[in-house]
Amino acid sequence: MAGFEIRVSNSKKGKGLFATKQYNEGDIILEEDPLVSCQFAWNAAYRYLACDHCMRPLETPEQNVRRLSAKPDIVLPHSDCFETDLLNITSCNQCGILYCSEECKEMSAAIYHQTLCYIQNETQHPINVLIETWKQIHYPPETANIMLLVRILAYIQQHSDPPSAAATIKQFCHRTENEDAELVHKLLGDEFSGQINTLREMTANVINGEYVQEFLTPEGFSSLMALVGTNGQGIGTSPLSLWVNSVSRLTMSDDERQQLDMFIDKVYQYVEGESGQFLNTEGSGLFQLQSACNHSCGPNAESSFPYGNHRIQLKALKTIRPGDEICISYLDDCTLQRSRYSRQKELAENYLFICWCERCTAQSSQPDVTSEEEMSDEEVDADD
């Protein structure tokens, strides 16, 4: 039986996820697969091979490190402690898209791929035209992919009960038209915000039909773009990080541990020197339960991807009692450590709300700018 429920949080936040039993620090609250997920377009262009359905990387940790560091002779110690099952890789019989297993291939076909199967090297295919247009609008670091929106539409189209599937998607759409437009402008940037109609027309060339028509109107498409921008949960999978986690659990002497840590540090230096910070297979997904979690600057839970695919795990960071709201942070760790002013500014710009969590309320008397670093940021913004 689930130890949580989704219900109205308050008039400002809308729905939230609430505990119906006690969770202690480290307890798993939930695990779930997304309705749909998708690798980022530039991430795929940079040769990050991944299962087209679940985003599991299709290379071993050693292959991953050799590619990212451009050192073809590097050998990872204890490589046998992390098993990468690449024996079951398969592909779509029609288009050749790769999957990590027959199960992912079948799930993909059942949920959206039947509608979206196409010849990959056909440059003028509407999907390739849409992806290339999107890539020119949305450069790395990526936060969204137009194909997640397309897969949402295909999910509705292929569903056994399309009106029910459409209603599920509409649960994520709860902003005003002006808020949607503001979010889309933020997502695309000043230079490209006027191209939303082009994207809408290109998307309609990819998928069209009775049950998705309402999402292809200017208002419906804007709402769907805003949904992808704010509810799309970032997903990152990495053979290297999974290997590091596995070897960190091995029993060894202090000297062996020190040698291994030095080797790992050197590997990351090699990788960063060649590939920068662009280390993971990255994308986003739409999760029904996890997306109900509201933000707090003092979160009591956090999300992770422990299985190296798109399956998300929500874990308690501290004791959560029955009736408590389960909250995560929408901000990265660095931003979370900054002043209330900086956090509020980030949330207002990217999520269109002012945070009144316990931490923000307790810090309400803080001045607007509280550190030299933030002041310098403000001065740079002003100079721009």
- Asked if residue 239 lies in contact with residue 308, where contact means CB atoms within 8 angstroms, the answer is yes
Ordered by start, the domain boundaries in the chain are 36-233, 338-384
C-beta neighbour count of 266 within 10 angstroms: 12
Residue 89 CA to residue 2 CA, distance in Å, equals 34
Per-residue confidence in pLDDT tens, the chain, 384 aa? 689 999 887 656 678 999 999 999 999 999 999 999 999 999 998 878 899 999 999 998 999 899 889 999 999 998 877 666 788 999 999 999 999 999 999 999 999 999 999 988 899 999 999 999 999 998 888 889 999 999 999 999 999 999 999 999 998 877 788 888 888 888 888 888 889 999 999 999 999 999 999 999 999 999 999 999 888 999 998 888 889 988 988 999 999 999 999 999 999 999 989 887 667 889 999 999 999 999 999 999 999 998 889 999 999 999 999 999 999 999 888 888 999 999 988 888 877 788 888 999 998 887 776 555 455 554 445 555
CA-to-CA dists, residue 131 to 106, 134, 144, 219, angstroms: 24, 5, 12, 22
Which two structure tokens, joined as six digits, stand for 95? 């288009």
| Consecutive H or E run containing 283 | strand 281-286
Q: Please report the pLDDT score of residue 278 as a whole number.
A: 67
> Which own/partner contact pairs does 360-366 have at CB distance under 8 Å and 24+ positions apart?
360/297, 363/339, 364/340, 366/339, 366/340, 366/341
Indicate the SS3 state at residue 236. strand
How far is C-alpha 56 from the chain's CA centre? 14
Indicate the SS3 state at residue 304. strand
Q: Please report the pLDDT score of residue 259 as a whole number.
A: 95
pTM across the whole model: 0.87
C-beta neighbour count of 113 within 10 angstroms: 23
Rg (CA), the chain: 22
φ, ψ dihedrals at 255, nearest 5° = -65, -45
Q: Please report the pLDDT score of residue 374 as a whole number.
A: 53
Dump strand ranges (E) for the chain.
4-10, 14-19, 28-32, 36-39, 90-91, 98-99, 233-237, 281-286, 294-295, 301-304, 312-316, 325-328
**H-helix segments, 53-100:** 61-69
Q: Which amino acid is at 340?
A: R
Q: Please report the pLDDT score of residue 383 as a whole number.
A: 52
Work out whether the CA dihedral 279, 284, 285, 291 comes out positive or negative: positive
CA-to-CA dists, residue 41 to 12, 178, 284, angstroms: 34, 28, 11
Q: Please report the pLDDT score of residue 350 as a whole number.
A: 78
Residue 134 CA to residue 40 CA, distance in Å, equals 10
φ, ψ dihedrals at 329, nearest 5° = -100, 130
Angle between helices 162-170 and 146-158 (to 10 degrees): 140
Q: Which amino acid is at 85?
A: D
Which two structure tokens, joined as six digits, stand for 237? 């999978």
In DSSP terms, which residues pair with 18 in a beta bridge?
5, 325
